[in-house]
Amino acid sequence: MRFSGWKVIKEGLTGNRGWSAHWRDAQPKPEYDMVIIGGGGHGLSTAYYLAKNHGMTNIAVLEKGYLGGGNVGRNTTIVRANYFLQGNSEFYSHSLKLWEGLEEDLNYNVMHSQRGLINLFHSDGQRDAFARRGNMMVNQGDDAILLDRDGVRKHLPYLDFEQTRFPIYGGLYHPRGGTARHDAVAWGYARGASDRGVDLVQNCEVTGIDIENGVVKGVQTTRGAIRAKKVGIIVAGRSGQVAAMAGRRLPIESHILQAFVTEGLKPVIDHVISFGMGHFYISQSDKGGLVFGGDLDFYASYAQRGNLPMKEHVMEAGMTLMPMIGKAKVLRSWGGIMDMTPDGSPIIDKMEGIDGLYIDCGWNYGGFKAVPASGWCMAHLMATDRPHEVAAKYRLDRFRTGIGIMDEEGTGSQHNLH
């Protein structure tokens, strides 16, 4: 089934009876060339690019719940390429370029909206840091414009500019930044992979990884044993448990990150905005809800729900920045399990010492925008056994050697600081 404007009109006029399921709900076979553990955004995009870029189609994606039921369905949907450090900068730049062609590539409406991202700054020091970041973004070939206070006012007249505590000095404007419909990204990749022959197996929890003499032989699952020559672990917050099945410990601590959405409102916030003094970010969904979030709850958790102190903090930050949202009613809040690394940057690498085992994890609180490039690079690594050039610095051993630590926030490479 191909989507097109013509198809939408035809189905609209004939009772919408011609739509079919977007992907096959496959039964697991006893053997594949490759198995991907985890049917979230990153796992599905990896399977899609393995099929599309490398012609590998004898692949299964094993998901313990339902496709896209983890973090890809629980984020604040922001897409951006405003990274500073070499290693991150080229990776996210590549990802944004993939986003820009994604709908055409997938023939799927992921509602990618480049509405522009504005990171506000509130002091001279922050302005300097953002000017430097903007220059790095421009050097990478992406877009960044340093706005002064009046420049911000033109875009965002409704902010509280007059306050004395956190005066708005300006903002770093990233016009190509924006949002996308998170679920549709998972569904689009699932459909693309499934159409190319990849088996997407739901309700199939991996319970063991078979390794003989340092070589991967397959996995044990709740739906039987599956043999495979190569296995990719792409399970975000659950990376620690799955790596333990291969006898490995990871530099990952799983933390809770909350997000919130209000009732649907008429269009009021056109951009993605982040508050430089309180870790608060907000955008408005096409349905009208204000989607916003803040910082981690800051303690290890798998609960997928947060605690009240961080809720209060996020609401306070929102009210400080834009008092106009004060009467909006919060409909829902939820939490995702973030796979936090000590330096805040991800890992796409082979599992050293185990042939055929690969891992893609450590996306911290920024995994959604990385979905296309993460899949692209993980597929490249699994198919060729060489890291892709834009993900070459995402090595697992950087923590042991201390070489190539990418502490984007400059807070120190330590677990409780990101």
Partner 1 sequence: MRLTCPVCGERDRREFYYMGDAVALRRPDPEAGDAVWDDYLHNRDNPAGVTRDLWQHEGGCGAWIVVTRNTMTHEVLETALASDVKGSVG
Does 107 participate in binding partner 1 (rule CB under 8 A)? no
Does 303 participate in binding partner 1 (rule CB under 8 A)? yes
Nearest to 354 by CA among 196, 248, 241: 248
Cβ closest to partner 1, residue 171 vs residue 278: 278
CB atoms inside a 10 Å sphere around CB 299:
10
Of positions 90, 143, 199, 253, contacts partner 1 by CB under 8 A:
253
Question: Could you tell me which stretch among 18-26, 345-353, 386-394, 398-406 binds partner 1 (CB under 8 A)?
Answer: 398-406
- Binding string, residues 206-245; x marks residues near partner 1 by CB under 8 A: --------------------------------xxxx--x-
Cβ closest to partner 1, residue 336 vs residue 372: 336
Packed helices 41-54 and 371-384: angle between N→C axes, nearest 10 degrees: 50
Nearest to 86 by CA among 343, 415, 408: 408
> Hey, is 315 helix, strand or coil?
helix
Cβ closest to partner 1, residue 143 vs residue 253: 253
# binding residues, partner 1 (CB under 8 A)? 26
Cβ closest to partner 1, residue 343 vs residue 408: 343
Contact present, 110 and 368 (Cβ < 8 Å): no
At 230, list the tokens: 């190569």
Question: Could you tell me which stretch among 28-36, 125-133, 195-203, 294-302 binds partner 1 (CB under 8 A)?
Answer: 294-302
Contact present, 185 and 222 (Cβ < 8 Å): no
List Cβ neighbours of 94 (8 Å cut-off, separation of 6 or more): 373, 376, 390
At 411, list the tokens: 């807070």
Does 311 participate in binding partner 1 (rule CB under 8 A)? no
Does 254 participate in binding partner 1 (rule CB under 8 A)? yes
Cβ closest to partner 1, residue 215 vs residue 403: 403
Q: How far is the CB of 365 from partner 1 (least distance, A)?
A: 16
Cβ closest to partner 1, residue 182 vs residue 255: 255
Does 154 participate in binding partner 1 (rule CB under 8 A)? no
Does 302 participate in binding partner 1 (rule CB under 8 A)? yes
Give Cα separations from 409 to 105, 213, 233, 237, 414 (angstroms).
33, 40, 27, 21, 12
Amino acid at 191: R
The C-alpha atoms of residue 65 and residue 85 are separated, in whole angstroms, by 36
Contact present, 237 and 254 (Cβ < 8 Å): yes
- Binding string, residues 349-388; x marks residues near partner 1 by CB under 8 A: ----------------------------------------
Going by the DSSP 8-state scheme, the letter that residue 237 receives in this structure is G
Question: Could you tell me which stretch among 14-22, 172-180, 263-271, 298-306 binds partner 1 (CB under 8 A)?
Answer: 298-306
Nearest to 194 by CA among 108, 110, 112, 109: 108
Footprint on this chain of partner 1 (rule: CB under 8 A): 238-241, 244, 249-254, 298-303, 307, 309, 342, 399-401, 414-416
